[in-house]
A and B are shown apart, each in its own frame.
Chain A
Amino acid sequence: MIRYTFGRLSSLVISLIVASMVIFLVIEVIPGDPASFMLGINAREDTLAALRAEMGLDQPLVIRYFNWVLGMLQGDFGNSWTYKTPVAELINDRIWVSLPLAVYALLLSTLIAFPAGIYAASRRGSAGDVTIIGATQLGVALPNFWFAMILVLIFAIKLRWFSAGGFPGWDDPLLAIKSLTLPAIALALPQAAILARVMRSSLLDMLGEDFIRTARAKGLTRRQALWRHAVRNALIPVLTIIGLQFSFLLAGGIIIEQVFFLPGLGRLIFQSISARDLIVVESVVMLLVFTVIVVNFAVDLAYAAVDPRLRSRA
Protein backbone atom coordinates (compact mmCIF):
# COMPACT_ATOMS: atom_id res chain seq x y z
CA MET A 1 0.00 0.00 0.00
CA ILE A 2 2.86 2.40 0.81
CA ARG A 3 4.55 1.76 -2.52
CA TYR A 4 1.25 2.18 -4.34
CA THR A 5 0.54 5.45 -2.51
CA PHE A 6 4.00 6.74 -3.33
CA GLY A 7 3.59 5.87 -7.02
CA ARG A 8 0.23 7.59 -7.21
CA LEU A 9 1.59 10.57 -5.31
CA SER A 10 4.41 11.14 -7.78
CA SER A 11 2.00 11.03 -10.73
CA LEU A 12 -0.26 13.42 -8.82
CA VAL A 13 2.57 15.92 -8.51
CA ILE A 14 3.53 15.56 -12.18
CA SER A 15 -0.09 16.07 -13.25
CA LEU A 16 -0.35 19.21 -11.15
CA ILE A 17 2.88 20.63 -12.55
CA VAL A 18 1.93 19.96 -16.17
CA ALA A 19 -1.61 21.29 -15.64
CA SER A 20 -0.27 24.50 -14.09
CA MET A 21 2.12 24.95 -17.05
CA VAL A 22 -0.71 24.46 -19.54
CA ILE A 23 -2.95 26.99 -17.78
CA PHE A 24 -0.12 29.50 -17.43
CA LEU A 25 0.87 29.23 -21.11
CA VAL A 26 -2.73 29.44 -22.36
CA ILE A 27 -3.27 32.68 -20.44
CA GLU A 28 0.14 33.85 -21.63
CA VAL A 29 -0.67 33.64 -25.36
CA ILE A 30 -3.40 36.26 -25.03
CA PRO A 31 -2.39 39.24 -27.13
CA GLY A 32 -1.79 42.45 -25.20
CA ASP A 33 -0.56 42.27 -21.62
CA PRO A 34 -2.73 43.26 -18.65
CA ALA A 35 -0.85 46.51 -18.14
CA SER A 36 -1.76 47.83 -21.60
CA PHE A 37 -5.30 46.55 -21.11
CA MET A 38 -5.67 48.41 -17.81
CA LEU A 39 -4.28 51.71 -19.08
CA GLY A 40 -6.06 51.70 -22.45
CA ILE A 41 -4.69 52.52 -25.89
CA ASN A 42 -3.69 56.11 -25.11
CA ALA A 43 -1.29 55.18 -22.32
CA ARG A 44 2.17 56.74 -22.41
CA GLU A 45 5.08 54.40 -22.93
CA ASP A 46 6.78 55.24 -19.62
CA THR A 47 3.60 54.83 -17.54
CA LEU A 48 3.08 51.48 -19.21
CA ALA A 49 6.64 50.41 -18.42
CA ALA A 50 6.26 51.52 -14.80
CA LEU A 51 3.04 49.55 -14.39
CA ARG A 52 4.60 46.50 -16.04
CA ALA A 53 7.49 46.69 -13.61
CA GLU A 54 5.08 47.08 -10.69
CA MET A 55 3.09 44.03 -11.80
CA GLY A 56 6.26 42.07 -12.47
CA LEU A 57 5.41 41.70 -16.16
CA ASP A 58 8.86 42.80 -17.28
CA GLN A 59 10.42 39.61 -15.99
CA PRO A 60 11.06 36.56 -18.18
CA LEU A 61 8.31 33.96 -18.68
CA VAL A 62 10.01 31.28 -16.60
CA ILE A 63 10.53 33.58 -13.61
CA ARG A 64 6.90 34.69 -13.73
CA TYR A 65 5.72 31.07 -13.87
CA PHE A 66 7.77 30.16 -10.80
CA ASN A 67 6.59 33.27 -8.96
CA TRP A 68 2.99 32.31 -9.73
CA VAL A 69 3.40 28.70 -8.59
CA LEU A 70 5.45 29.55 -5.49
CA GLY A 71 2.91 32.21 -4.58
CA MET A 72 0.04 29.74 -4.89
CA LEU A 73 1.86 27.22 -2.71
CA GLN A 74 1.93 29.88 0.01
CA GLY A 75 -1.73 30.76 -0.54
CA ASP A 76 -0.87 33.93 -2.47
CA PHE A 77 -2.74 33.97 -5.78
CA GLY A 78 -1.67 37.51 -6.66
CA ASN A 79 -3.83 40.60 -6.81
CA SER A 80 -6.91 41.04 -8.95
CA TRP A 81 -6.40 43.81 -11.52
CA THR A 82 -9.98 45.04 -11.38
CA TYR A 83 -10.95 44.42 -7.74
CA LYS A 84 -7.52 45.53 -6.46
CA THR A 85 -7.79 42.89 -3.74
CA PRO A 86 -5.88 39.63 -3.31
CA VAL A 87 -7.32 36.87 -5.52
CA ALA A 88 -7.12 34.53 -2.52
CA GLU A 89 -9.67 36.71 -0.69
CA LEU A 90 -12.00 36.77 -3.69
CA ILE A 91 -11.81 32.99 -3.95
CA ASN A 92 -12.27 32.56 -0.22
CA ASP A 93 -15.48 34.61 -0.36
CA ARG A 94 -16.92 32.53 -3.19
CA ILE A 95 -15.71 29.04 -2.45
CA TRP A 96 -18.07 28.84 0.51
CA VAL A 97 -20.91 28.87 -1.97
CA SER A 98 -19.48 26.64 -4.70
CA LEU A 99 -17.98 23.93 -2.52
CA PRO A 100 -21.01 23.36 -0.25
CA LEU A 101 -23.20 23.34 -3.37
CA ALA A 102 -21.10 20.60 -4.97
CA VAL A 103 -21.00 18.54 -1.76
CA TYR A 104 -24.75 18.97 -1.23
CA ALA A 105 -25.43 17.87 -4.81
CA LEU A 106 -23.11 14.87 -4.46
CA LEU A 107 -24.93 13.83 -1.30
CA LEU A 108 -28.33 14.12 -2.96
CA SER A 109 -27.12 12.31 -6.08
CA THR A 110 -25.83 9.41 -3.97
CA LEU A 111 -28.93 9.30 -1.79
CA ILE A 112 -31.16 9.06 -4.87
CA ALA A 113 -28.98 6.78 -6.96
CA PHE A 114 -28.11 4.08 -4.41
CA PRO A 115 -31.64 3.01 -3.46
CA ALA A 116 -32.82 3.37 -7.08
CA GLY A 117 -29.94 1.32 -8.48
CA ILE A 118 -30.15 -1.37 -5.81
CA TYR A 119 -33.92 -1.63 -6.12
CA ALA A 120 -33.77 -1.87 -9.92
CA ALA A 121 -31.05 -4.54 -9.89
CA SER A 122 -32.67 -6.66 -7.20
CA ARG A 123 -36.02 -6.66 -9.04
CA ARG A 124 -34.63 -6.88 -12.53
CA GLY A 125 -37.25 -6.89 -15.27
CA SER A 126 -40.05 -5.82 -12.92
CA ALA A 127 -42.24 -2.79 -13.51
CA GLY A 128 -40.19 -0.91 -10.91
CA ASP A 129 -36.95 -1.72 -12.74
CA VAL A 130 -38.38 -0.61 -16.08
CA THR A 131 -39.66 2.65 -14.53
CA ILE A 132 -36.27 3.39 -12.99
CA ILE A 133 -34.46 2.68 -16.28
CA GLY A 134 -36.88 4.96 -18.10
CA ALA A 135 -36.41 7.70 -15.51
CA THR A 136 -32.62 7.47 -15.75
CA GLN A 137 -32.87 7.64 -19.56
CA LEU A 138 -34.72 10.97 -19.15
CA GLY A 139 -32.38 12.15 -16.39
CA VAL A 140 -29.29 11.62 -18.51
CA ALA A 141 -30.83 13.68 -21.35
CA LEU A 142 -31.91 16.52 -19.05
CA PRO A 143 -29.99 19.82 -19.44
CA ASN A 144 -29.42 20.71 -15.78
CA PHE A 145 -29.65 24.48 -16.25
CA TRP A 146 -33.05 24.12 -17.92
CA PHE A 147 -34.21 21.79 -15.16
CA ALA A 148 -33.06 24.49 -12.73
CA MET A 149 -35.23 27.05 -14.51
CA ILE A 150 -38.23 24.73 -14.31
CA LEU A 151 -37.58 24.20 -10.58
CA VAL A 152 -37.54 27.97 -10.10
CA LEU A 153 -40.79 28.30 -12.04
CA ILE A 154 -42.56 25.64 -9.97
CA PHE A 155 -41.09 25.91 -6.47
CA ALA A 156 -40.11 29.58 -6.30
CA ILE A 157 -42.51 31.47 -8.56
CA LYS A 158 -45.68 29.35 -8.40
CA LEU A 159 -45.48 27.64 -4.99
CA ARG A 160 -43.19 30.19 -3.28
CA TRP A 161 -41.52 27.49 -1.18
CA PHE A 162 -38.02 28.69 -2.01
CA SER A 163 -36.48 31.97 -3.11
CA ALA A 164 -35.76 32.22 -6.84
CA GLY A 165 -32.10 33.02 -6.34
CA GLY A 166 -29.44 34.78 -4.35
CA PHE A 167 -27.54 33.63 -1.29
CA PRO A 168 -28.02 35.04 2.24
CA GLY A 169 -24.62 33.96 3.58
CA TRP A 170 -23.80 31.43 6.28
CA ASP A 171 -24.92 33.54 9.27
CA ASP A 172 -28.09 31.48 9.31
CA PRO A 173 -27.00 27.98 8.25
CA LEU A 174 -30.54 26.72 7.75
CA LEU A 175 -31.43 29.60 5.45
CA ALA A 176 -28.16 29.10 3.55
CA ILE A 177 -28.87 25.41 3.05
CA LYS A 178 -32.41 26.21 1.99
CA SER A 179 -31.21 28.62 -0.67
CA LEU A 180 -28.78 25.99 -1.99
CA THR A 181 -31.46 23.29 -2.12
CA LEU A 182 -32.98 23.99 -5.56
CA PRO A 183 -29.54 24.48 -7.17
CA ALA A 184 -28.33 21.24 -5.58
CA ILE A 185 -31.36 19.29 -6.84
CA ALA A 186 -30.88 20.69 -10.35
CA LEU A 187 -27.23 19.65 -10.29
CA ALA A 188 -27.81 16.30 -8.63
CA LEU A 189 -30.65 14.77 -10.62
CA PRO A 190 -28.91 14.26 -14.00
CA GLN A 191 -25.84 12.91 -12.14
CA ALA A 192 -28.05 10.66 -10.01
CA ALA A 193 -29.43 9.14 -13.22
CA ILE A 194 -25.92 8.23 -14.36
CA LEU A 195 -24.94 6.91 -10.93
CA ALA A 196 -28.12 4.82 -10.61
CA ARG A 197 -27.37 3.15 -13.96
CA VAL A 198 -23.80 2.37 -12.91
CA MET A 199 -25.02 1.06 -9.55
CA ARG A 200 -27.63 -1.14 -11.24
CA SER A 201 -25.32 -2.66 -13.84
CA SER A 202 -22.49 -3.13 -11.36
CA LEU A 203 -24.83 -4.89 -8.96
CA LEU A 204 -26.24 -7.07 -11.74
CA ASP A 205 -22.68 -8.13 -12.61
CA MET A 206 -22.08 -9.07 -8.98
CA LEU A 207 -25.35 -10.98 -8.64
CA GLY A 208 -24.20 -13.22 -11.51
CA GLU A 209 -20.93 -14.06 -9.74
CA ASP A 210 -20.13 -17.47 -8.28
CA PHE A 211 -19.66 -16.15 -4.75
CA ILE A 212 -23.30 -15.10 -4.67
CA ARG A 213 -24.33 -18.62 -5.66
CA THR A 214 -22.05 -19.96 -2.93
CA ALA A 215 -23.59 -17.61 -0.41
CA ARG A 216 -27.08 -18.71 -1.47
CA ALA A 217 -26.04 -22.38 -1.32
CA LYS A 218 -24.83 -21.81 2.23
CA GLY A 219 -28.38 -20.85 3.09
CA LEU A 220 -28.40 -17.08 2.89
CA THR A 221 -31.62 -15.58 1.65
CA ARG A 222 -31.59 -13.52 -1.51
CA ARG A 223 -31.80 -10.36 0.55
CA GLN A 224 -28.89 -11.39 2.81
CA ALA A 225 -26.70 -12.33 -0.14
CA LEU A 226 -27.55 -9.04 -1.81
CA TRP A 227 -26.71 -6.83 1.14
CA ARG A 228 -23.80 -8.78 2.65
CA HIS A 229 -21.94 -9.69 -0.53
CA ALA A 230 -23.22 -8.14 -3.74
CA VAL A 231 -23.75 -4.50 -2.73
CA ARG A 232 -20.39 -4.26 -1.03
CA ASN A 233 -18.54 -5.50 -4.11
CA ALA A 234 -20.68 -3.49 -6.52
CA LEU A 235 -19.62 -0.31 -4.74
CA ILE A 236 -16.09 -0.48 -6.15
CA PRO A 237 -16.83 0.83 -9.67
CA VAL A 238 -19.47 3.14 -8.22
CA LEU A 239 -16.80 4.80 -6.10
CA THR A 240 -14.82 5.85 -9.19
CA ILE A 241 -17.89 7.37 -10.77
CA ILE A 242 -18.62 9.31 -7.57
CA GLY A 243 -15.10 10.73 -7.69
CA LEU A 244 -15.56 11.77 -11.32
CA GLN A 245 -18.96 13.23 -10.51
CA PHE A 246 -17.56 15.53 -7.90
CA SER A 247 -15.55 17.35 -10.55
CA PHE A 248 -18.57 17.48 -12.87
CA LEU A 249 -20.63 18.92 -10.02
CA LEU A 250 -18.00 21.52 -9.16
CA ALA A 251 -17.67 22.63 -12.79
CA GLY A 252 -21.40 22.24 -13.49
CA GLY A 253 -22.04 24.46 -10.49
CA ILE A 254 -20.57 27.31 -12.51
CA ILE A 255 -23.61 27.16 -14.81
CA ILE A 256 -26.20 26.51 -12.12
CA GLU A 257 -24.86 29.49 -10.15
CA GLN A 258 -25.82 31.65 -13.12
CA VAL A 259 -29.43 30.42 -13.00
CA PHE A 260 -29.82 31.15 -9.30
CA PHE A 261 -27.65 34.29 -9.15
CA LEU A 262 -25.39 32.64 -6.57
CA PRO A 263 -22.19 34.53 -5.72
CA GLY A 264 -19.90 31.54 -6.27
CA LEU A 265 -16.76 30.81 -8.28
CA GLY A 266 -18.83 30.77 -11.48
CA ARG A 267 -19.94 34.36 -11.07
CA LEU A 268 -16.36 35.36 -10.23
CA ILE A 269 -14.96 33.65 -13.29
CA PHE A 270 -17.48 35.21 -15.72
CA GLN A 271 -17.03 38.68 -14.30
CA SER A 272 -13.28 38.23 -14.59
CA ILE A 273 -13.51 37.05 -18.20
CA SER A 274 -15.52 40.10 -19.24
CA ALA A 275 -13.22 42.42 -17.31
CA ARG A 276 -10.19 40.58 -18.77
CA ASP A 277 -8.98 40.11 -15.21
CA LEU A 278 -6.93 37.14 -16.30
CA ILE A 279 -5.07 36.49 -13.08
CA VAL A 280 -8.41 35.66 -11.47
CA VAL A 281 -9.41 33.39 -14.38
CA GLU A 282 -6.02 31.69 -14.18
CA SER A 283 -6.22 31.10 -10.43
CA VAL A 284 -9.82 29.88 -10.36
CA VAL A 285 -9.19 27.48 -13.26
CA MET A 286 -6.06 26.19 -11.52
CA LEU A 287 -8.04 25.70 -8.32
CA LEU A 288 -10.77 23.74 -10.15
CA VAL A 289 -8.24 21.54 -11.95
CA PHE A 290 -6.30 21.05 -8.71
CA THR A 291 -9.47 19.86 -7.00
CA VAL A 292 -10.29 17.44 -9.82
CA ILE A 293 -6.80 15.93 -9.79
CA VAL A 294 -6.67 15.62 -5.99
CA VAL A 295 -10.15 14.09 -5.77
CA ASN A 296 -9.27 11.53 -8.43
CA PHE A 297 -6.09 10.73 -6.49
CA ALA A 298 -8.11 10.24 -3.32
CA VAL A 299 -10.51 7.94 -5.18
CA ASP A 300 -7.61 5.88 -6.50
CA LEU A 301 -6.32 5.45 -2.96
CA ALA A 302 -9.76 4.57 -1.60
CA TYR A 303 -10.11 2.09 -4.46
CA ALA A 304 -6.82 0.43 -3.56
CA ALA A 305 -7.74 0.35 0.12
CA VAL A 306 -10.97 -1.48 -0.72
CA ASP A 307 -9.53 -3.77 -3.38
CA PRO A 308 -6.02 -5.09 -2.56
CA ARG A 309 -5.63 -6.50 -6.10
CA LEU A 310 -5.18 -2.98 -7.48
CA ARG A 311 -2.18 -2.15 -5.33
CA SER A 312 0.14 -4.40 -7.28
CA ARG A 313 -0.63 -2.49 -10.47
CA ALA A 314 1.39 0.54 -9.41
Chain B
Amino acid sequence: MNKSFVIGAGLSVVFLLLALLSFVWTPYDIETLDIPNKLQGLSGSHLLGTDHFGRDILSMIMMGARTSIAVALLAVGIGLLLGVPLGLIAAAKHGSFLDELIMRGNDLVFAFPSLVIAILITAVFGASAINAIIAIGIFNIPVFARLTRAAALPLWERDFVLAARVCGKPPARISIEHILPNITNLMIVQGTIQFSLGILAEAALSYIGLGAQPPTASWGRMLADAQTLVSIAPHTALVPGFTILLMVLGLNLLGDGLRDWIDPKLRLIRT
Protein backbone atom coordinates (compact mmCIF):
# COMPACT_ATOMS: atom_id res chain seq x y z
CA MET B 1 0.00 0.00 0.00
CA ASN B 2 1.64 3.28 -1.00
CA LYS B 3 0.94 6.84 0.06
CA SER B 4 -0.41 8.03 -3.33
CA PHE B 5 -2.91 5.22 -3.37
CA VAL B 6 -4.18 5.90 0.16
CA ILE B 7 -4.56 9.67 -0.32
CA GLY B 8 -5.99 9.28 -3.82
CA ALA B 9 -8.46 6.57 -2.85
CA GLY B 10 -9.46 8.58 0.24
CA LEU B 11 -10.22 11.73 -1.75
CA SER B 12 -12.06 9.81 -4.48
CA VAL B 13 -14.21 7.93 -1.95
CA VAL B 14 -15.14 11.18 -0.17
CA PHE B 15 -16.44 12.70 -3.40
CA LEU B 16 -18.21 9.51 -4.38
CA LEU B 17 -19.94 9.40 -0.98
CA LEU B 18 -20.91 13.09 -1.27
CA ALA B 19 -22.47 12.38 -4.65
CA LEU B 20 -24.31 9.30 -3.35
CA LEU B 21 -25.46 11.12 -0.22
CA SER B 22 -26.98 13.87 -2.39
CA PHE B 23 -29.57 11.38 -3.65
CA VAL B 24 -31.06 11.06 -0.15
CA TRP B 25 -29.98 14.24 1.65
CA THR B 26 -28.43 17.64 1.06
CA PRO B 27 -28.16 20.35 3.74
CA TYR B 28 -30.49 22.62 1.74
CA ASP B 29 -32.74 22.29 -1.29
CA ILE B 30 -30.82 23.91 -4.17
CA GLU B 31 -33.96 24.65 -6.16
CA THR B 32 -35.36 27.07 -3.59
CA LEU B 33 -33.88 30.53 -3.88
CA ASP B 34 -33.15 32.48 -0.70
CA ILE B 35 -32.22 35.93 -2.00
CA PRO B 36 -32.03 37.66 1.44
CA ASN B 37 -29.22 35.25 2.34
CA LYS B 38 -27.25 35.62 -0.91
CA LEU B 39 -23.43 35.61 -1.06
CA GLN B 40 -23.02 34.68 2.61
CA GLY B 41 -19.54 33.65 3.66
CA LEU B 42 -18.61 30.38 5.31
CA SER B 43 -20.62 29.92 8.51
CA GLY B 44 -22.24 27.38 10.80
CA SER B 45 -25.54 27.42 8.96
CA HIS B 46 -23.96 27.40 5.49
CA LEU B 47 -20.66 25.54 5.83
CA LEU B 48 -19.38 26.68 2.41
CA GLY B 49 -21.47 29.86 2.14
CA THR B 50 -24.20 30.74 -0.36
CA ASP B 51 -24.20 31.87 -4.00
CA HIS B 52 -25.84 34.86 -5.72
CA PHE B 53 -29.28 33.26 -5.39
CA GLY B 54 -28.75 32.39 -1.73
CA ARG B 55 -28.37 28.70 -2.55
CA ASP B 56 -26.23 26.61 -0.21
CA ILE B 57 -22.87 26.00 -1.94
CA LEU B 58 -22.16 22.72 -0.13
CA SER B 59 -25.47 21.32 -1.39
CA MET B 60 -24.63 22.48 -4.92
CA ILE B 61 -21.17 20.89 -4.69
CA MET B 62 -22.82 17.60 -3.67
CA MET B 63 -25.32 17.74 -6.54
CA GLY B 64 -22.55 18.84 -8.93
CA ALA B 65 -20.44 15.85 -7.88
CA ARG B 66 -23.18 13.64 -9.30
CA THR B 67 -23.02 15.40 -12.68
CA SER B 68 -19.23 15.36 -12.81
CA ILE B 69 -18.91 11.71 -11.85
CA ALA B 70 -21.73 10.59 -14.15
CA VAL B 71 -20.38 12.47 -17.17
CA ALA B 72 -16.76 11.38 -16.65
CA LEU B 73 -17.71 7.76 -15.87
CA LEU B 74 -19.95 7.39 -18.92
CA ALA B 75 -17.31 9.03 -21.12
CA VAL B 76 -14.73 6.49 -19.89
CA GLY B 77 -17.34 3.79 -20.56
CA ILE B 78 -17.70 4.91 -24.18
CA GLY B 79 -13.92 4.96 -24.57
CA LEU B 80 -13.52 1.47 -23.10
CA LEU B 81 -16.48 -0.07 -24.90
CA LEU B 82 -15.40 1.12 -28.34
CA GLY B 83 -11.66 1.67 -27.93
CA VAL B 84 -10.68 -1.67 -26.38
CA PRO B 85 -12.38 -3.86 -29.05
CA LEU B 86 -10.85 -1.69 -31.79
CA GLY B 87 -7.42 -2.07 -30.21
CA LEU B 88 -7.89 -5.83 -29.81
CA ILE B 89 -8.92 -6.19 -33.46
CA ALA B 90 -6.00 -4.06 -34.64
CA ALA B 91 -3.56 -6.18 -32.61
CA ALA B 92 -5.09 -9.49 -33.75
CA LYS B 93 -4.92 -8.39 -37.37
CA HIS B 94 -1.53 -6.72 -36.93
CA GLY B 95 -0.13 -5.36 -40.18
CA SER B 96 -3.35 -5.87 -42.11
CA PHE B 97 -5.35 -3.23 -43.92
CA LEU B 98 -7.88 -3.26 -41.06
CA ASP B 99 -5.12 -2.52 -38.53
CA GLU B 100 -3.91 0.37 -40.67
CA LEU B 101 -7.46 1.68 -41.04
CA ILE B 102 -8.11 1.60 -37.29
CA MET B 103 -4.84 3.31 -36.46
CA ARG B 104 -5.36 6.01 -39.11
CA GLY B 105 -8.88 6.53 -37.76
CA ASN B 106 -7.37 7.03 -34.31
CA ASP B 107 -4.93 9.59 -35.67
CA LEU B 108 -7.81 11.42 -37.27
CA VAL B 109 -9.84 11.61 -34.04
CA PHE B 110 -6.69 12.78 -32.24
CA ALA B 111 -6.57 15.76 -34.60
CA PHE B 112 -9.86 16.95 -33.10
CA PRO B 113 -9.21 18.33 -29.61
CA SER B 114 -12.06 17.26 -27.26
CA LEU B 115 -13.20 20.85 -27.04
CA VAL B 116 -13.53 21.04 -30.81
CA ILE B 117 -15.55 17.80 -30.85
CA ALA B 118 -17.78 19.32 -28.18
CA ILE B 119 -18.20 22.51 -30.20
CA LEU B 120 -19.18 20.55 -33.31
CA ILE B 121 -21.65 18.37 -31.41
CA THR B 122 -23.13 21.38 -29.63
CA ALA B 123 -23.47 23.26 -32.89
CA VAL B 124 -25.49 20.35 -34.24
CA PHE B 125 -27.53 19.09 -31.28
CA GLY B 126 -27.36 21.93 -28.75
CA ALA B 127 -25.69 21.95 -25.34
CA SER B 128 -26.48 19.23 -22.79
CA ALA B 129 -24.79 16.87 -20.38
CA ILE B 130 -25.43 13.99 -22.80
CA ASN B 131 -23.57 15.80 -25.58
CA ALA B 132 -20.71 16.54 -23.20
CA ILE B 133 -20.52 12.80 -22.45
CA ILE B 134 -20.46 11.98 -26.17
CA ALA B 135 -17.78 14.59 -26.90
CA ILE B 136 -15.48 13.44 -24.09
CA GLY B 137 -16.29 9.81 -24.89
CA ILE B 138 -15.25 10.19 -28.54
CA PHE B 139 -11.99 11.72 -27.40
CA ASN B 140 -11.40 8.69 -25.14
CA ILE B 141 -11.84 6.09 -27.90
CA PRO B 142 -8.43 6.49 -29.60
CA VAL B 143 -6.72 6.70 -26.19
CA PHE B 144 -7.95 3.24 -25.23
CA ALA B 145 -7.61 1.82 -28.75
CA ARG B 146 -3.93 2.79 -28.97
CA LEU B 147 -3.11 1.59 -25.49
CA THR B 148 -4.91 -1.72 -26.03
CA ARG B 149 -3.13 -2.36 -29.31
CA ALA B 150 0.26 -1.45 -27.87
CA ALA B 151 -0.27 -3.73 -24.86
CA ALA B 152 -1.78 -6.59 -26.88
CA LEU B 153 0.91 -6.76 -29.58
CA PRO B 154 3.70 -8.18 -27.37
CA LEU B 155 1.21 -10.64 -25.84
CA TRP B 156 0.55 -12.12 -29.26
CA GLU B 157 4.22 -13.19 -29.37
CA ARG B 158 3.98 -15.08 -26.08
CA ASP B 159 3.99 -18.84 -25.78
CA PHE B 160 0.58 -19.16 -24.14
CA VAL B 161 -1.02 -17.40 -27.09
CA LEU B 162 0.92 -19.63 -29.46
CA ALA B 163 -0.40 -22.64 -27.53
CA ALA B 164 -3.95 -21.37 -27.86
CA ARG B 165 -3.44 -20.88 -31.60
CA VAL B 166 -2.06 -24.39 -31.98
CA CYS B 167 -5.21 -25.64 -30.26
CA GLY B 168 -7.14 -24.01 -33.09
CA LYS B 169 -8.73 -21.12 -31.20
CA PRO B 170 -9.81 -18.34 -33.54
CA PRO B 171 -8.18 -14.90 -33.04
CA ALA B 172 -11.40 -13.43 -31.64
CA ARG B 173 -11.53 -16.02 -28.84
CA ILE B 174 -7.81 -15.61 -28.10
CA SER B 175 -8.34 -11.85 -27.86
CA ILE B 176 -11.17 -12.23 -25.38
CA GLU B 177 -9.93 -15.21 -23.34
CA HIS B 178 -6.17 -14.62 -23.26
CA ILE B 179 -5.31 -11.06 -24.29
CA LEU B 180 -8.08 -9.15 -22.54
CA PRO B 181 -7.50 -10.54 -19.02
CA ASN B 182 -3.83 -9.59 -19.33
CA ILE B 183 -4.49 -5.97 -20.17
CA THR B 184 -7.32 -5.34 -17.68
CA ASN B 185 -4.99 -3.85 -15.06
CA LEU B 186 -3.58 -1.42 -17.56
CA MET B 187 -7.08 -0.38 -18.59
CA ILE B 188 -8.05 0.26 -14.97
CA VAL B 189 -5.06 2.58 -14.52
CA GLN B 190 -5.70 4.42 -17.79
CA GLY B 191 -9.42 4.51 -16.98
CA THR B 192 -8.63 6.35 -13.74
CA ILE B 193 -6.53 8.90 -15.62
CA GLN B 194 -9.20 9.39 -18.30
CA PHE B 195 -11.80 9.69 -15.54
CA SER B 196 -9.88 12.58 -13.99
CA LEU B 197 -9.42 14.22 -17.41
CA GLY B 198 -13.17 13.77 -17.91
CA ILE B 199 -13.90 15.67 -14.69
CA LEU B 200 -11.71 18.53 -15.92
CA ALA B 201 -13.27 18.46 -19.39
CA GLU B 202 -16.83 18.41 -18.01
CA ALA B 203 -16.04 21.41 -15.79
CA ALA B 204 -14.54 23.30 -18.74
CA LEU B 205 -17.45 22.49 -21.04
CA SER B 206 -20.13 23.52 -18.56
CA TYR B 207 -18.11 26.63 -17.72
CA ILE B 208 -18.38 27.83 -21.32
CA GLY B 209 -22.01 26.73 -21.51
CA LEU B 210 -21.54 23.60 -23.63
CA GLY B 211 -22.22 21.11 -20.84
CA ALA B 212 -25.00 20.45 -18.33
CA GLN B 213 -27.74 23.07 -18.49
CA PRO B 214 -29.70 24.60 -15.60
CA PRO B 215 -31.21 23.37 -13.34
CA THR B 216 -28.67 20.50 -13.34
CA ALA B 217 -25.97 21.46 -10.85
CA SER B 218 -22.44 21.49 -12.21
CA TRP B 219 -19.11 22.64 -10.81
CA GLY B 220 -18.14 24.28 -14.08
CA ARG B 221 -21.28 26.37 -14.20
CA MET B 222 -20.88 27.38 -10.56
CA LEU B 223 -17.55 28.86 -11.65
CA ALA B 224 -19.14 30.60 -14.62
CA ASP B 225 -21.71 32.16 -12.24
CA ALA B 226 -18.93 33.13 -9.84
CA GLN B 227 -16.88 34.93 -12.47
CA THR B 228 -18.54 38.32 -12.04
CA LEU B 229 -18.76 37.88 -8.25
CA VAL B 230 -15.17 36.87 -7.60
CA SER B 231 -14.16 40.29 -6.24
CA ILE B 232 -17.10 40.68 -3.82
CA ALA B 233 -17.55 37.02 -2.82
CA PRO B 234 -14.33 35.10 -3.57
CA HIS B 235 -15.65 31.94 -1.88
CA THR B 236 -18.14 31.43 -4.75
CA ALA B 237 -15.15 30.84 -7.05
CA LEU B 238 -12.71 29.32 -4.56
CA VAL B 239 -14.98 26.53 -3.30
CA PRO B 240 -15.93 24.93 -6.65
CA GLY B 241 -12.38 25.44 -7.96
CA PHE B 242 -10.75 23.68 -5.02
CA THR B 243 -13.39 20.95 -5.28
CA ILE B 244 -12.40 20.22 -8.89
CA LEU B 245 -8.70 20.44 -8.00
CA LEU B 246 -9.04 17.98 -5.10
CA MET B 247 -11.20 15.52 -7.04
CA VAL B 248 -8.81 15.48 -10.01
CA LEU B 249 -5.76 15.34 -7.75
CA GLY B 250 -7.34 12.42 -5.88
CA LEU B 251 -8.03 10.47 -9.06
CA ASN B 252 -4.52 11.12 -10.42
CA LEU B 253 -2.93 9.94 -7.17
CA LEU B 254 -5.22 6.91 -7.22
CA GLY B 255 -4.11 6.16 -10.78
CA ASP B 256 -0.42 6.53 -9.87
CA GLY B 257 -0.90 4.38 -6.79
CA LEU B 258 -2.72 1.67 -8.74
CA ARG B 259 0.01 1.63 -11.38
CA ASP B 260 2.75 1.22 -8.78
CA TRP B 261 0.76 -1.45 -7.03
CA ILE B 262 -0.02 -3.39 -10.21
CA ASP B 263 3.47 -3.11 -11.66
CA PRO B 264 6.10 -3.61 -8.96
CA LYS B 265 8.87 -2.88 -11.48
CA LEU B 266 7.69 0.73 -11.70
CA ARG B 267 7.50 0.93 -7.92
CA LEU B 268 11.17 0.03 -7.71
CA ILE B 269 12.08 2.73 -10.19
CA ARG B 270 10.17 5.38 -8.32
CA THR B 271 11.54 4.88 -4.83
Residues of A within 8 A of B (CB): 11, 14-15, 18-19, 22-23, 26-27, 29-30, 137-138, 140-146, 149-150, 152-153, 157, 247-248, 250-252, 254-255, 258-259, 269-270, 273, 278, 281, 285, 288-289, 292-293, 296
Contact = CB atoms under 8 A, between A and B. Distances in A.
A22 B120 CA distance: 10
Given A140-B252, A141-B196, A146-B237, A15 B119 contact: no
17 contacts: A15-B108, A15-B111, A27-B120, A27-B123, A141-B196, A141-B249, A143-B200, A143-B204, A145-B204, A149-B227, A149-B230, A150-B238, A153-B234, A269-B119, A270-B208, A289-B116, A296-B111
Nearest to B125: A30
A26 B124 CA distance: 7
Kindly list the 5 A-B residue pairs having the minimum CB-CB distance in the complex, ordered from nearest. Answer: A251-B113, A141-B248, A146-B241, A141-B249, A251-B115
What band does the interface of chain B fall in when counting residues whose beta carbon is under 8 Å from A?
35 or more
A187 to B, nearest CB: 12
B98 interface: no
Contacts of B108: 15, 18-19, 22
Nearest to A247: B113
A145 B207 contact: yes
Contacts of B123: 27, 30, 273, 278, 281
A84 B13 CA distance: 53
A291 to B, nearest CB: 9
B237 A255 contact: no
Given A142-B245, A146-B237, A258-B207, 12 more contacts: A27-B123, A27-B124, A137-B253, A141-B248, A143-B248, A145-B208, A146-B241, A149-B226, A247-B113, A250-B113, A288-B116, A292-B112
Chain B contact surface mostly: helix
B64 to A, nearest CB: 13
A270 B252 CA distance: 31
A15 B241 contact: no
A157 B204 contact: no
Interface string B104-124: 100110011111100110111
Contacts, number: 115
A252 B223 contact: no
Interface in B165-201: 196, 200
Interface in B186-244: 196, 200, 203-204, 207-209, 223, 226-227, 230-231, 234, 237-238, 240-241, 244
A143 B203 contact: yes
B116 A149 contact: no
A116 B249 CA distance: 20
Contact of A138 (B104, B204, B249): B249
Contacts of B119: 254, 269, 273, 281, 285
Contacts of A285: 116, 119-120
B253 to A, nearest CB: 7
B120 A23 contact: yes
B55 to A, nearest CB: 19
Nearest to A257: B208
A269 B116 CA distance: 10
A221 B120 CA distance: 55
A222 B83 CA distance: 44
